[in-house]
Structure formats: C-alpha cells, structure tokens
Chain A
C-alpha cells in the first residue's frame, strides 16, 4: 500500500514538473527574457560605470551588491548556527582531547614553505578581484584552506595563539557590518544626487581603482575565510 502511494506521489510530482518545463520559452529564441537589453548594457558599460576590468566583479559587487550582501549573510548565519550547535563549553564534562597532533617533520617543514605561498595566492586573488578573474569568494576560500592546513599540522595550541576565537568572531561580525554600511552608503548617495564624498573610480587597470570594489572584495574574503575555518574546527572537535 505504502509502495503504491509513494509511486503515485512521485509520478504526480514528475508530471507537474514536466508541465512546468513545457511552459518555459523555447531555447535560443531571439525574444526570450534572458536576451533582453540588460546583458548588452552590462557588457558595454560595466567598466565605465564601476571601474572594474573584470565585468563579473563589477556586476556582483556594484550592480547587484545587495545580492552578494545577503549571500555573505547566509555564510554568516551558517557559521553562527554551527557555533551554537557544536561549540563545546570550556567547563563541560566531556572535553576529552582526542586531537591527534601530527609528529611528522617532513609535513611540518614542507608546510612552512607552502602555506605562505597559498596565502599570498589567495591575497592576490582578492586584491586583484576587480582586474583579473577571481574575487572575494574564491580568494577567501583559498585563505581559509591554508588556515585549515595550519590547524591540521600544528594543532590547537598553535592556532590559539595566532587566531584566537574572540578575534575571529570580531572580524566576522565587523566585516559583515562594514559591508552593509559601505554598500548602504553608496546605495543612498548614489542615486539621489546628494553631494556627499564618493571614492573616485580611478583609471581602470590600477589596483587602487574601482571605488568600493576593493574594500568590498576584502570584506567578502574575510567573511568566507573565517566561515570555512569555523566549519572545519567545529566539525572536527567542537572547539576553536
């Protein structure tokens, strides 16, 4: 009985979804909604409007910056919830230390060479986000991975000194609030002809150009890196 019921529900759902697909516009038609003038406008005017050589960054951090803001708030919310659920209290009973600190000398020495390279590459991707491919999200992930490597190889005692929990949570909350403030400022002053000071767009191609893009990239990178580090440490042992 239950089997027939589940088969019936699945078939009905498949039929409903296929009917929905049938209503979609034909692929590749000229006057589809996807082919309207917005894409042409972005391709032609993005560098002029936002000062970004990389149009993708220009779109996600200028035209659609609030979308990116809510994306980073999703990451923020996820890390807060994981903190709430998985963080162990300091004085709780079951804090047995089951952490295995790796003793291998080869790993330690190789990681001493390789971790700075990873971090420099991540920082490069963040800082050149408006000039070359990449941006806050990808660069933040790379920096977060290098922090995870630190944690795996050197253990909790080392990362406690370098990245204490209070500092990380302060950076996380600070970056998301600062992102909101910066973008809200440019949103309010941008369209209303208020004579408030604006950062200049500069010459496209320099690092210090593109107005708000560079600070916004750095903030998104911070949020992503810290969130990923939180995920790893909390899933691993429940302690940061």
Chain B
C-alpha cells in the first residue's frame, strides 16, 4: 500500500497529461483514505475521502476547463 502511494505521488509529478495527473492525484487520496482507516483514524478517513478525492478533484477539473487545458 505504501509503495503504491509513493508510486502514485511520483506519477502525479511526472505524467504529461494534466487530466491524467488529476486522476492519479485522486487515486492517491483514496489510498490515503484506506491508510487512515488502517491507522484507526476514521475521522480523517472521512474528511480525506470527501475533501481530497471529491472537492479537490472537482475544483482542479473546473480550473482545467477554465484554462482549456484538456486536449480533445
């Protein structure tokens, strides 16, 4: 799990496509959620799932739409 986390965080900074980077970042948040749950911190797990995987992704994608960063 930790190796996957490190792999995801390296991938975020190296991926060329912006949309791909956002999706990998969301995957990173989801793994982090599971890790918080494993560390007996369900409070943080709920918040990480809602804020990290939900809101941040929505705001990033909105920004991407605004600056027309998605190639069709």
By beta carbon, the residue of chain B nearest A232 is B58
B43 touches A138 (CB 8 A): yes
Given contacts A134-B43, A134-B46, contact A235 B62 (CB under 8 A): yes
A145 touches B47 (CB 8 A): no
CB-contact partner of B66 in A138, A142, A148, A235, under 8 A: A235
Q: Do B43 and A232 touch (CB < 8 A)?
A: no
Chain B residue, CB-CB nearest to A144: B55
Does B70 sit at the interface, judged by CB under 8 A?
Answer: no
B42 adjacent to chain A (CB < 8 Å): yes
A133 close to chain B: CB less than 8 A: yes
* Residue A228 is within 8 A (CB to CB) of chain B in the complex: yes
Give which listed residue, B46, B50, B58, B66, contacts A133 with CB less than 8 A.
Answer: B46
A–B complex contacts, Cβ < 8 Å, 28 sampled: A54-B43, A56-B43, A125-B46, A133-B42, A133-B45, A133-B46, A134-B46, A135-B43, A137-B47, A138-B46, A138-B47, A138-B50, A141-B47, A141-B50, A141-B51, A141-B54, A141-B55, A142-B50, A145-B50, A145-B58, A148-B58, A228-B55, A231-B55, A232-B59, A235-B59, A235-B62, A235-B63, A236-B62
How far, in whole Å, are A133 and B50 apart by their CA atoms in the complex?
14
Q: In the A-B complex, list the 9 residue pairs whose CB atoms are closest, starting with the nearest.
A: A133-B42, A141-B50, A138-B46, A138-B47, A133-B43, A235-B62, A145-B54, A56-B43, A142-B50
Q: Cβ of A232 and Cβ of B62 under 8 Å apart?
A: yes
In the assembled complex, how far is the CB of residue A177 from the closest CB belonging to chain B, in whole angstroms? 25
Given contacts A141-B51, A148-B58, A232-B58, 5 further A-B contacts (CB under 8 A): A133-B46, A134-B42, A141-B47, A141-B54, A231-B59
Chain B contacts for A133, CB-based, 8 A: 42-43, 45-46
A145 touches B55 (CB 8 A): yes
Task: Give complex CA distance A202, B66 in Å.
Answer: 51
Question: Which residues of B, 48-72, contact A by the 8 Å Cβ criterion?
Answer: 50-51, 54-55, 58-59, 62-63, 66
Most interface-central of B46, B50, B51 (chain A CB within 10 A): B50
Give the residue name and chain of the A residue nearest to B50 (CB): A141
Q: For B48, give the chain A residue with the smallest CB separation.
A: A138
A100 to B1, CA, bound (A): 39
Q: How far is the CB of B50 from chain A (nearest CB, A)?
A: 4
Question: What residues on B are CB-neighbors of A125 within 8 Å?
Answer: 46
Q: How far is the CA of A164 from the CA of B47 in the complex (A)?
A: 27
Measured between beta carbons, the chain A residues less than 8 angstroms from B59 are 231-232, 235
Type the 1/0 row for A141-155, where 1 means its CB is closer than 8 Å to any CB of B: 110110010000000
Residues of B within 8 A of A56 (CB): 43
